A and B are shown apart, each in its own frame.
Chain A
């Protein structure tokens, strides 16, 4: 009964490859996010989707393309992987409540290593 799940947990791949990370939430939330955590543990938002619609798109190379087939899923596809893409990628979900109350719940993270 995991709330926010991500697959795979670990991903090791060669430079230039294309890979995808999947995220699913069973919390019934409307909004989902992708964050990147670099080697210094710094967390930064990449994308956000609300009801399958892209609403936040930070300055991220267009090699990164999020896709939301339904509001419970938000996948991240990365083309032409580069060494600098090595990081931990976190998916999160949230539901805005009364008065704008919202808490983001995070998945376990996907550790991507590009060789």
Chain B
């Protein structure tokens, strides 16, 4: 069965610090997708990135970067020069083929990031 572990329950940093959110996953599939979602205090779930299991290139988008390492089954997320608006719960998720054409998302337990001014 698939599993996603986010060992960091809460992280606090001071504005402008860099912060890395860890994500470790387990799956028996060879084809799968990994995601990060952000849930700000307003409560909605915002899609940040999708990465497929065949693409281990790191990705950078502005202050956000993602490090996918298949060898360690990790998909870590780094925010550079954090800002107060980055304060949110961040979820890592894994998608495997369930049945039919649906891919079931399994979420980690989330990491609450607080960025202090």
Interface residues of A (CB under 8 A from B): 30-31, 33, 35, 40-45, 48, 50, 53, 55-56, 88, 90, 92, 94, 96, 99-109, 111
Contacts and interface: CB of A to CB of B under 8 A. Distances in A.
A105 B110 CA distance: 18
B45 interface: yes
A45 B107 CA distance: 9
Given A100-B103, A102-B33, A108 B43 contact: yes
Interface residues of B, number: 26
B104 interface: yes
A100 B31 contact: yes
A71 B50 CA distance: 24
Given A42-B109, A43-B91, A99-B52, A109 B45 contact: yes
Q: Chain A binding site: helix, strand, loop or mixed by DSSP? A: strand
21 contacts: A30-B101, A41-B39, A41-B109, A43-B91, A43-B107, A48-B102, A50-B101, A55-B101, A55-B102, A56-B98, A56-B104, A88-B43, A94-B103, A99-B52, A100-B97, A100-B103, A102-B33, A106-B44, A108-B43, A109-B45, A111-B43
A55 B98 CA distance: 9
Nearest to A104: B105
A41 B110 contact: yes
Nearest to A88: B43
Nearest to A48: B102
B64 interface: no
Contacts of B94: none
A48 B98 CA distance: 10
Given A31-B101, A103-B35, A104-B105, 14 more contacts: A33-B105, A41-B39, A43-B107, A44-B107, A55-B98, A55-B99, A55-B101, A56-B99, A88-B43, A94-B103, A101-B52, A104-B95, A105-B47, A111-B43
